[in-house]
Amino acid sequence: EARNEPVGASEVGFSKCFQVYFVRMSPLFLIIAVCTTCLTKPLNISPADMAEAAFYLCAYEFAIKAVNSPWCQLFDEDDAKIMEYEADLREFWKRGYGHDINSKSSCILFHDAFSRLDKAARQPVTEPVTVQIGHADTLLPLLTLLGFFNDSDALTSTNYATQTQRSFRTSHMMPYAANLLFVLYDCGGGDLRLQPLLNEKPVTFPGLDDQQNSMPLYQDVRNHYRHLLSGCDFETECRLLKHPAV
């Protein structure tokens, strides 16, 4: 059964207009209900939404202002890990490996990147840098399409305890100002190599881990992704069915 534990407003640094309750529904989830005694009408917000809002208020103030917000005092480390997993779980199924169609939204971006690399590999470079600006909603499907951070087991609501060592962590993959770079090196004698960097840190292409210094031959990278280079057509993958299956 859920058990309410009232906490004085002064203990967490809130106005006296607020009374905070911790409601533990299970060992794996913390729900926070904030009762606003100064309002004449109750807030139409679910406890789960309040818990998420409090967690993000804590995270944003820490990230932007580098301060330990009073909101952070509502959570211990285990609570934060659970809230992190909740966010990863949502992104996994919405933009990650949960559904195959998620990554196909990046087919156009994938082909654009490799067409520019192919052009630079064949002829003198006229554009030393190409910059594409987007959002996390753009980057995560592309990372998924390329096979980065693909764990052996899917994230689900029932396997939190076995996912502590997962590589799919959106807080690491997509921090503020997240970026993915492809750097093409001409080492002479037709030796073209491609280095991927995620958030300015070298990473290795999945399936090409044995390549020297995370800089595989460009042709090896093309061969590795040949199934995408010869397919991954956005119009085909994302077209609406004229006669949906019943």
Residue type for position 145: L
| Predicted pLDDT at 17 | 41
Q: Tens digit of pLDDT for each residue in 145-199?
A: 999 999 999 999 999 999 999 999 999 999 889 999 999 999 888 889 999 999 9
- Hey, what are 172's tokens? 């690491």
CA distance 199 to 4: 42
The pLDDT value given to residue 41: 54
**Quick check: 7 pLDDT over 70?**
no
Q: Can you give the pLDDT at residue 239?
A: 75
The stretch 107-129 carries a mean pLDDT of 90
Q: What is the pLDDT of residue 127?
A: 80
Q: Determine phi and psi for 156, rounding to 5 degrees.
A: -135, 175
192 close to 216: Cβ distance less than 8 angstroms = no
Of residues 80 and 166, more confidence is placed in 166
Mean pLDDT of 93-106: 93
Average pLDDT estimate for 13-37: 42
